[in-house]
Amino acid sequence: MNCGTGEDALWLARRGVKVLATDVSPAMLQVAESKLAASPRNALARFHRLAWEELDTFDEGPFDGMLSNFGGLNCVQDLRGCARTLAAKLRPGAAAIVCIMGPAVPWEWVWFLAQGKPAAAFRRLRQNGAQWSGIAVHYPSVAETCRAFAPEFRLLRRSAIGALLPPPYTEKWIGRFPRLIAALDRIERRVETWWPLPMLADHYLLEFERV
């Protein structure tokens, strides 16, 4: 789901996974199809235009697993409804892996406050979300997402992506310190599941099992 330009789909396909990759953006899918055409070995992947909100109208399935990477679920209005619809599309025991932008990011607070931009620093904490390109972006907490996926899904693992590492938009500054980045990355990979890091990360990754 929300496959973007197809990097994850093609990575999985190269490893023998049969992938149906979907996205709401025709432009993203066009790029993904171009990548697929340039990689004949990736015949196991195919692409289809589909929004999260349209999943209940999709007549394929059931599937063995689902991956939603880097914030696709932040753009849905009804997280509980999407989780319930997804459950109907997955076999019992299937994995559902979601990567979501969290609400509390100390790196972001420090970065934007240092630039005198308090509205940007705390935009994720707004009750009705933030506006981006005409889309309302919401930032559910780990606990809120787990509640939305229950009882159809059981949480197996939670981890942080970008708790110790600064967010990507700081790259021009932090990129001057490659050794520091490498050290922070090594440390974060070792402690990514430790409380409270998933709650304070730019993104958090949740691995569920369909019960």
Sheet containing 203-210: which strands, arranged edge to edge?
A: 63-68, 90-101, 203-210, 153-161
Q: Is 192:161 a contact under the CB 8 Å cutoff? A: yes
Domain count, the chain: 1
Answer whether residue 155 is part of any domain.
Answer: yes
- Spatial distance between the Cα atoms of 145 and 85, rounded to a whole number of angstroms: 15
Residue 43 has pLDDT above 80, yes or no: no
pLDDT at 39: 81
**Is residue 166 domain-resident?**
yes
Q: Which domain holds residue 133?
A: 51-210
Residue 4 in domain: no
pLDDT at position 128: 86
- The token pair at 95 is 């994995």
- The answer as to whether 19 is a domain residue is no
Q: Looking at residue 191, which CATH number applies to its domain?
A: 3.40.50.150
Looking at residue 42, its pLDDT comes to 64
- What's the pLDDT score for residue 127? 86
- In this structure, is residue 28 part of a structural domain? no
Report percent pLDDT > 70 for the chain.
99
SS (H, E, C) 11-35: HHHHCCCCEEEEECCHHHHHHHHHH
What is the reported pLDDT for 135?
85
Please count the CA atoms within 13 angstroms of the CA of 35 that sit on its side-chain side.
22
For 146, the token pair is 């787990």
In this structure, are residues 208 and 97 in contact, taking their beta carbons and an 8 Å threshold? yes
Paired sense of beta strands 19-23 and 45-49, if any: parallel
Q: Is residue 206 part of a domain?
A: yes
In a domain, 10, yes or no: no
Residue 7 lies in a domain: no
What residue type is assigned to position 99 of the chain?
C
